[in-house]
């Protein structure tokens, strides 16, 4: 990790070079370059040819032949020298920094190369400064930075929306156009790859320029997290696809990042309009803050919907812990891309989707199928309400979706979609036992039968349950219990004698089955 301590207040001072940045520009010149010195601060503003007897300044790099070195150089402190060819490098004090060039190139070639490096970064700095006052500062800054990094440079926000990406080269991710925002966004599959990557999770807390390894993407990424007032705002990235990332690029990226952080403060650069008024309405509607019929009617008209259209409510929750919700807005965009008739928003640590089935004459099954990939890649589970024909029932539809998700995960944790219609009985049972304990709701007749089983080590309760489940079919019941029909007949006689249950009475049979469900709801192992 490199830390240059750049901040917004430093911009007026400009970008200063160090020996590493200068050495990097010799990488393709076949010049053997090394750096000697304890430290390598960013304090160089220009190049000078060394002349004996002159006063030297720490802000300049002094060019000299190695053959001209002598013990007299020891009195220089905190000065940077570029030494060409062999010489007595031990004559410098430890406070000096030495850029040693072995002399493959001529003096003029070396002089011109170093001078060009200073000019390149000076011009880049000027372009960054000028861009601050423009309408689209980020685009101009990243465009100007392409010459510095010689690789594609882009920036994204916390939700993986692409704020700027001036160059696209082979090997880069193909950004997706989000119709809802009009912005580019990373593919959902890529977002989820990052979310599940342990290395990526570690990078979310870093400061300064760092390297993201090639293990996930197949190439390295030089990145810098963008922070404003201690809050993570997004990321600046350089993909190592065209040229090798050099050590000096770390310093350059941190300087560029300081400009972008300043832009965030000045221009609210990373704020995206997501139809927040409509989404806030639904959040307030679900929470009970909005109940006035006129306000609800106005919203229906604004959406160009009808009160008695067919509606469906979805509730999505992720299976993994993701407190930062880095991709929540991105996920909303992908959901709405798959369901044009739907409106998605975050609510109570999850995602809610209001679907107007009349919009595209679609069905609940169509909606569920269209979200299958997103659910799988996002590791989501989803509760689905019953379909209904009244906008005023949306809050109740939400309760259905939440209940389906809760009940479904409890009984069938391996699947990802739970429809309320499939858990209607479980919901009813959970509600009727909400105020009165299940023990007090179970018929005393069935309780007596349970006591008899415990005392005599019999299975009369289980026999009765299976008998009712098989619609009183003696043959199927006997097969299910692995007993003879005569044994079943005997057990049924004992059941009616002990519990006094009239199995010919439909009401008593229904009540008994409900009681069995209540018992099993409390403890599945009881029966």
Question: What tens digit of pLDDT does each residue of 119-134 get?
Answer: 999 999 999 988 877 7
Which letter does DSSP use for residue 39 in this model?
-
What's the CA gap between 56 and 64, in Å, rounded?
13
The whole model's pTM is what?
0.60
Give the model's confidence band at 387: pLDDT under 50 very low, under 70 low, under 90 confident, else very high. very high
Inform me whether the pLDDT recorded for 417 exceeds 60.
Answer: yes
Question: For 366-387, b where at least 16 C-beta lie within 10 A, e where not — what string?
Answer: ebbebbeebbebbebbbbbbbb
Give the model's confidence band at 320: pLDDT under 50 very low, under 70 low, under 90 confident, else very high. low
Inform me whether the pLDDT recorded for 242 exceeds 50.
Answer: yes
Question: For 152-170, b where at least 16 C-beta lie within 10 A, e where not — what string?
Answer: bbbbbbbbbbbbbbbeeee
Give the model's confidence band at 484: pLDDT under 50 very low, under 70 low, under 90 confident, else very high. very high
Q: List Cα–Cα distances, 72 to 84, 92, 102, 161, 334, in angstroms.
A: 18, 9, 22, 59, 69
Residues paired with residue 296 on neighbouring β-strands, in sequence order: none
- Residue 30: exposure state from Cβ atoms within 10 A (0-12, 13-18, ≥19): exposed
Per-residue pLDDT, 1: 45
Read off the tokens for 369.
């199928």
CB 154 within 8 A of CB 237: yes
Read off the tokens for 18.
């160090």
Of 518, 335, 343, nearest in space to 432 by CA? 518
What's the CA gap between 184 and 159, in Å, rounded?
11
Per-residue pLDDT, 270: 54
Question: What tens digit of pLDDT does each residue of 135-180 get?
Answer: 778 999 999 999 999 999 999 988 788 989 999 899 999 998 876 6
Q: Tokens 């003096």, residue?
A: 107
Higher confidence at residue 398 or residue 280?
398
CA atoms within 13 A on the CB side of 235: 21
Percent pLDDT > 70 in the chain is 89
Inform me whether the pLDDT recorded for 405 exceeds 80.
Answer: yes
Per-residue pLDDT, 165: 94
What's the CA gap between 349 and 343, in Å, rounded?
17
Percent pLDDT > 90 in the chain is 53
Domains of the chain with bracketed CATH: 8-117 (3.40.1390), 129-267 (3.30.450.40), 276-429 (3.30.70.3400), 438-522 (1.10.10.2840)
Inform me whether the pLDDT recorded for 269 exceeds 90.
Answer: no
Per-residue pLDDT, 328: 61
Per-residue pLDDT, 143: 96
Question: What tens digit of pLDDT does each residue of 421-445 get?
Answer: 998 888 887 777 666 666 666 777 8
Q: Tokens 């019953």, residue?
A: 386
CB 8 within 8 A of CB 261: yes
Per-residue pLDDT, 329: 62
DSSP helix/strand/coil, 42: coil
Using the Cα atoms of residue 297, residue 302, residue 306 and residue 307 in order, give the sign of their dihedral: negative
Average pLDDT for residues 479-493, to the nearest whole number? Answer: 92
Inform me whether the pLDDT recorded for 258 exceeds 60.
Answer: yes
Average pLDDT for residues 105-109, to the nearest whole number? Answer: 93
Inform me whether the pLDDT recorded for 9 exceeds 50.
Answer: no
Q: Tokens 């219609």, residue?
A: 421
What's the CA gap between 5 and 16, in Å, rounded?
13
Sequence-distant (6+) residues with CB within 8 A of 398 are: 286, 313, 315, 352, 385
Kindly report which listed range (70-79, 125-134, 182-191, 266-275) carries the lowest average pLDDT score: 266-275
CB 272 within 8 A of CB 161: yes
Inform me whether the pLDDT recorded for 3 exceeds 80.
Answer: no
Question: What is the overall mean pLDDT for the chain?
Answer: 86
């Amino acid at each position: 990790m490199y830390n240059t301590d750049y901040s917004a207040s430093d911009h007026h001072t400009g970008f200063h070079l160090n020996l590493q940045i200068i050495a990097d520009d010799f990488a393709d010149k076949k010049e053997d370059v090394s750096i000697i010195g304890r430290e390598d601060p960013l304090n160089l503003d220009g190049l000078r040819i060394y002349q004996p007897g002159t006063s030297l300044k720490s802000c300049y790099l002094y060019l000299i032949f190695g053959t001209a070195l002598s013990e007299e150089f020891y009195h220089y402190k905190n000065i940077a020298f570029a030494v060409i060819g062999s010489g007595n490098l031990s004559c410098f004090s430890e406070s000096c920094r030495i850029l040693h060039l072995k002399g493959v190139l001529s003096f003029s070639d070396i002089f011109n190369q170093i001078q060009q490096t200073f000019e390149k970064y000076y011009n880049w700095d000027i372009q960054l400064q000028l861009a601050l006052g423009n309408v689209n500062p980020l685009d101009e800054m990243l465009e100007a930075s392409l010459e510095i990094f010689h690789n594609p440079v882009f920036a994204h926000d916390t939700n993986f929306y692409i704020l700027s990406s001036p160059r696209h080269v082979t090997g880069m991710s193909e950004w997706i156009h989000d119709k809802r925002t009009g912005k580019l966004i990373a593919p959902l599959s890529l977002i989820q790859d990052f979310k599940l990557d342990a290395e990526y999770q570690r990078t979310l807390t870093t400061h300064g320029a760092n390297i993201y390894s090639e293990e996930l993407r197949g190439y390295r990424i030089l990145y810098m997290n963008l922070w404003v007032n201690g809050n993570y705002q997004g990321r600046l990235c350089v993909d190592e696809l065209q040229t090798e990332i050099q050590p000096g690029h770390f310093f350059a990226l941190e300087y560029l990042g300081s400009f972008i952080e300043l832009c965030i403060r000045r221009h609210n650069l990373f704020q995206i309009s997501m139809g927040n008024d409509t989404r806030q309405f639904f959040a307030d509607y679900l929470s009970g803050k909005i109940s006035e019929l006129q306000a609800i009617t106005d919203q229906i008209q604004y959406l160009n919907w009808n009160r008695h259209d067919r509606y469906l409510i979805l509730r999505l929750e992720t299976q993994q812990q993701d407190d930062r919700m880095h991709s929540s807005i991105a996920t909303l965009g992908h959901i709405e891309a798959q369901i044009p008739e739907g409106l998605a928003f975050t609510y109570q640590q999850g995602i809610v989707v209001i679907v107007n089935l009349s919009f595209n004459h679609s069905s609940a099954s169509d909606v569920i199928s269209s979200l299958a990939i997103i659910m799988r890649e996002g590791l989501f589970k989803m509760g689905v309400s019953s379909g209904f024909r009244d906008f005023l029932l949306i809050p109740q539809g939400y309760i259905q979706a939440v209940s389906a998700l809760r009940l479904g995960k409890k009984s069938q944790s391996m699947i990802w979609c739970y429809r309320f219609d499939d858990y209607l009985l479980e919901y009813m049972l959970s509600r009727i036992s909400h105020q009165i304990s299940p023990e007090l709701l179970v018929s005393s007749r069935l309780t007596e039968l349970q006591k008899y089983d415990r005392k005599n080590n019999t299975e009369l309760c289980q026999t009765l349950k299976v008998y009712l489940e098989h619609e009183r079919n003696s043959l199927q019941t006997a097969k299910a219990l692995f007993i003879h029909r005569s044994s079943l007949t005997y057990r049924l006689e004992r059941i009616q004698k002990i519990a006094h249950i009239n199995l010919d009475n439909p009401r008593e049979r229904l009540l008994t089955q409900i009681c069995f469900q209540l018992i099993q709801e409390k403890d599945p192992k009881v029966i």
